[in-house]
Amino acid sequence: MLLFALLGSHFQGVSQTVLSQHMNTNPSQVGARASNSGTLIVYREYDLVREGVTKNSVQIMGAQFYLKAASEEITPQQLKVNFYALQEAFPANFLNTSTLLGTSEMTVNTEHNEGTLVHATLNFPVLVPKESRILISVEMQAAATINLIAFEDAETKPSWYASECGEYEIQKDTMKGLILNLVLVGNSAQIMDSNFQLKVTPNPTLDIITLAVDNPMVDIQKVDVFNALGAKLNVETNNQRLDLSHLNNGVYFLHVYTSWGKVVKKVIKE
């Protein structure tokens, strides 16, 4: 039995599948997670296979969550939503083994007195294999006038949080029912099956790497290179060949933009 809500919806004219770890599709509010005492980060993990994804790979478009006004005076609030690929179940060794897939930053400047479903979308969908563990994090600044809402009824997996006052130690959230949904491209009956693989060779490398896809229908459009701290580096691409000889030895991440979505690959420079 699949203990999740797999809901078909449309957002900005594109067919969507929404994965939720909340059992009720018409919930009532029971609480809110606030950031009154410092910066707050809320996390929720999705193991795609356990959540019912059967296609070889899918595109991540964004996330959904509910907000509510914390006071009558609403000031603009900056929210940062990050999407990570995990190598093991969260939160074990998260900082050392996760790969940042993309970020959605948004300003909330409207009243949410009754609770509003907010969409955080990536500028470019990220393509991931079905075996992926995806982590969503929502970061709110201190003394925010907007709260994340928790709802009644059961959740299939717990959410987690870290706060400035707790020195950012990741803790299991005792406030059950916090909705933080993962949004995929495609309807629930036809989640995208891309049928292509991106290969990076050689890896590890001393200098030159070559990118190739095994499907002639897929085009590589752009490649960005980031270091382990998330800084974008100046690397020239020539016919899908990248010269990394000027970079220090270490781990780097390629953000490869294709006609079927963005793929993130880890490369080791020796």
Cα(88)–Cα(65) distance, integer angstroms: 24
- Boundary (domain end) residue, out of 155, 185, 215: 185
* Residue 221: inside a domain: yes
Domain shared by 150 and 49, yes or no: yes
What pTM value is reported for the model? 0.71
* Residue 190: inside a domain: no
- Chunked into runs of 10 residues, the chain (270 residues) has average pLDDT values of 32 71 64 71 90 82 84 73 93 89 83 71 89 92 73 78 81 82 73 67 93 80 88 86 93 84 86
pLDDT for the residue numbered 8: 39
Q: Cβ neighbours of residue 221 under 8 Å, at least 6 residues apart? A: 257, 258, 259
* Residue 117: inside a domain: yes
pLDDT for the residue numbered 192: 42
Tokens of 252: 């780097």
pLDDT for the residue numbered 9: 41
Domain shared by 152 and 232, yes or no: no
* Residue 193: inside a domain: no
pLDDT for the residue numbered 62: 94
Domain span including residue 18: 5-185
The pLDDT tens digits for 126-147 are 988 888 999 999 998 766 667 7
Domain shared by 23 and 74, yes or no: yes
How big is the chain by its Cα radius of gyration, in Å?
Answer: 19
- Boundary (domain end) residue, out of 185, 217, 238: 185
Contact 147, 112 (CB under 8 A): no
The H or E element that residue 96 is part of is helix 94-97
* Residue 129: inside a domain: yes
Domain shared by 136 and 237, yes or no: no
* Residue 169: inside a domain: yes
